[in-house]
Amino acid sequence: MRRFVLGLSIIVVGVIACARGGPQNLGTSPSREDWEWSVYLGDAGRTHFAPLDQISVENVDQLVPVWSYDTGATEGALSQIQCNPIVVDGFLYGTTPRSHPFALDAATGAERWRFDPTAHGSAAQGHNRGVVYWAGPDGGRVLAASGQDLWMLDASTGVPVPEFGDGGRVDLRTGLAHGLEASDVGSPTPGVVFEDLIIVGTKVGEVDGAAPGDVRAFDLNTGALRWSFHTIPHDGEFGAETWPAGAWRDRGGANSWSGATLDAERGIVYLPTGSATPDFWGGDRPGDNLYANSLLALDARTGERRWHFQTVHHDLWDRDLPAPPTLVTIERDGRRIDAVTQTTKSGHLFVFDRDTGEPIFPIEERAVPAPLLDGEWVAKTQPFPTAPPPFTRQALDLSGLDDGWRAEGFREKQMARLEGMRMGEDYIPPSLEGSVMYPSFDGGAEWGGAAWDEETGLLYVNANEIGGVMTMIEAPKEVNPRSVYLENCAVCHGPDLEGTGVGPSIRKVGERRSALEILTILALGAGRMPGFVHIPLPILERLTAYVSDPDDEKKALAALDARPGSDAPFVAKGYTYLRDDEGVPINAPPFGTLTAIDVGAGTIRWQVPLGDYPHLVERGVTGAGTENYGGPVVTAGGLLFIAATADETLRAFDKRTGEVLWEAPLPASGFATPATYSVSGRQYVVIAAGGGKLGRASGSTYVAFALPETEKD
């Protein structure tokens, strides 16, 4: 394996000249000279596959960086770039940390255009995973989301297309039963184009009062709403009996935020959904809550349900389906089966017949623990696939508490931390004592998705190996600024404002921002944070005063005239991840893995650790893996490319064995899925290096790699 050192001279704004000379094995494939990565994750089946073999197991160690593009747009210490860029007609289309779409020359990285939605009235948006291309009758179009708006831009110029919606945009709240004023409805993951439709899912809030997660299709020529599927069924619709009567009028969530997958030949669009809201309390929504936590198969033309499967009944654990499903064709029992696979945060893979939804492997409904809080409602069973086996461990491995490289007294400290918590079973409901989840809130599998290679019959998925704890607290009986904070903000920022694994500390935000700035963020949101525009302005003003100075008891406890939001008796204390003081999971390694699953056989072919924590490498601890975000790409050249790790590295693996063949440092961690494509006979691999997670610094750069050019005569 060769590790290429990425020099500072390469990481600059603009275009870097391609290296001349060097090895003479570019090996062009004329029939694939201009193969395009024209769709998010490679194709509408979300296979992450490219039929390119110019870069191969024989020459991948010769890859060099050939251009970089600095977006120059970050949002501070926690900004990210989660974008999987697409390439069409020699243009590379991506998004900045602020979700501003742009176009580059795919061969050189030179900027062609950039569009700022906020300059045209859209709300700002944090992370974004990419854009959609449509070859329309009047020329190419790019569809990109920002805030509540879905924009259509001319693919050549970046100018809004006025015929689409209102001056080039459609409001993604269109057609919802409620939440029409919500500021947290958006579409961070690209939708899919089918005929003259753009089919999109949305993100919504995760607290009481959130908008419903209806899936919708808009006319690409006009922006008109063509169909809508109610993920919280309306009266008389299939599944309505799994909710309280009339739930569709005021309940939220069950949204498809992680992306859609299309089988155009069958005319079926497959959409995974997330949990109902609020995430960790379900006493006021008894029932299984269809179509939350479900894989939906819808008629792409009409939105009618073909079939569905619910992977978690009545979710209390934030077990959203985290990534778009992957279409595969497998050999099993002497026949070829067109199947759809769905990864989960719990580390399971579900495999279904694409047409009927019949499981390819048996799925068992197993009894799970009863509720632990007064008034809570818990499903009596949960579904478990019998094959393939889980690709993560299913319980917290406490042997890691004895690792010699940990700090002195580590075991005693962690055992004291875990004392009295509920642990040792699947699906332990949230509790006052704290309930241990393994894997944690972020998986298992995450939004990067899985890669499918038909040649080997292997599905590749990267996963996190970390535990978490969900602790509930009794909702304050009083109505004051502190109680409003606990009910709406503590799940991310902690009950004491000191932060959690999801949100940063805001305890001293009043020293950094003015009251007006804090009020604006509370009302409209910022980055990943949703807005609370539904809370009356006088209450937001009082909440602003409390957040600015949380130690002022007079501001914190002064009574309010009304309680906004939920009347739930319990609220979540916050996302708690079982990491040590250095940000490393407390369990035994590996902390992150890359797994190859033989889908036809229902077995795991190989599994390897993914990445290393740099400070552990300094102590001689290697092969431990890291938490990881972003997915893999697999090619006909025998390779799998993935970044995703905390150690700011892009790697190439042998797709048959899991051996690392090449790696290169990045200017920031690549918490995104790479793309690979070819232009004029040259194959490129590009990754967005945006950092901003796992304690890593934020970045703003896209980096492209290729083999050295053949010397010209």
Spatial distance between the Cα atoms of 459 and 450, rounded to a whole number of angstroms: 7
Spatial distance between the Cα atoms of 312 and 4, rounded to a whole number of angstroms: 44
- What digits encode the pLDDT tens for the residues 692-711? 999 899 999 999 999 998 73
Q: What is the pTM of this model?
A: 0.90
User: What is the percentage of the chain residues whose pLDDT exceeds 90?
Assistant: 74
pLDDT of 342 above 60:
yes
Provide the pLDDT for residue 20. Answer: 26
Spatial distance between the Cα atoms of 93 and 81, rounded to a whole number of angstroms: 13
**pLDDT band (50, 70, 90) for residue 644:** very high
pLDDT of 555 above 80:
no
Better-scored residue on pLDDT, 334 or 47: 47
pLDDT of 207 above 60:
yes
**pLDDT band (50, 70, 90) for residue 510:** confident
Angle among Cα 603, 608, 609 to the nearest 5 degrees reads: 135
Mean pLDDT to the nearest integer, 93-121: 96
Mean pLDDT to the nearest integer, 369-386: 97
Cβ contacts of residue 372 below 8 Å, gap of 6+?
422, 428, 429, 430, 431, 432, 433, 435
Exposed, middle or buried, 552 (CB in 10 Å: 0-12/13-18/19+)? Answer: middle
Find, among 694, 585, 607, 591, the residue nearest to 648 by Cα: 694
Provide the pLDDT for residue 563. Answer: 61
Provide the pLDDT for residue 534. Answer: 65
Longest dimension (CA), the chain: 82
- What digits encode the pLDDT tens for the residues 658-689? 999 999 999 999 999 999 999 999 999 999 99
pLDDT of 277 above 80:
yes
Provide the pLDDT for residue 478. Answer: 79
CB 615 within 8 A of CB 582: yes
- What digits encode the pLDDT tens for the residues 126-162? 789 999 999 999 999 999 999 999 999 999 999 999 9
- Residues 177-213 as b or e (16 or more Cβ within 10 Å = b): bbbeebbbbbbbbbbbbbeebbbbbbbbbbbbbbbbb
- What digits encode the pLDDT tens for the residues 388-406? 999 999 999 998 888 889 9
Spatial distance between the Cα atoms of 700 and 69, rounded to a whole number of angstroms: 8
User: What is the token pair recorded at 130?
Assistant: 């990419």
Find, among 620, 624, 339, the residue nearest to 464 by Cα: 624
Provide the pLDDT for residue 180. Answer: 87
Provide the pLDDT for residue 28. Answer: 37
pLDDT of 11 above 80:
no
Better-scored residue on pLDDT, 10 or 613: 613
The CA distances from residue 682 to 19, 120, 363, 708, 709, in Å, are 13, 38, 45, 10, 8
Provide the pLDDT for residue 528. Answer: 64
**pLDDT band (50, 70, 90) for residue 500:** confident
pLDDT of 6 above 50:
no
- What digits encode the pLDDT tens for the residues 435-463? 999 999 999 999 999 999 999 999 999 99
CB 299 within 8 A of CB 264: no
pLDDT of 493 above 70:
yes
Domains of the chain: 1-84+619-713 (no CATH), 476-565 (1.10.760.10)
Laid out side by side, the sheet with 592-598 consists of 451-453, 458-464, 592-598, 603-609
pLDDT of 30 above 70:
no
Mean pLDDT to the nearest integer, 525-543: 72
Quote the mean pLDDT of the chain: 90
- What digits encode the pLDDT tens for the residues 462-476? 999 999 999 998 988
pLDDT of 190 above 90:
yes
- Residues 37-63 as b or e (16 or more Cβ within 10 Å = b): bbbbbbbbbbbbbbebbbbbbebbebb
Mean pLDDT to the nearest integer, 541-559: 80
Exposed, middle or buried, 702 (CB in 10 Å: 0-12/13-18/19+)? Answer: buried
- What digits encode the pLDDT tens for the residues 210-259? 999 999 999 999 999 999 999 999 999 999 999 999 999 999 999 999 99
User: Given the structure tokens 């033309």, which residue do they identify?
Assistant: 301
Mean pLDDT to the nearest integer, 164-175: 97
The CA distances from residue 376 to 319, 475, 533, in Å, are 18, 14, 29
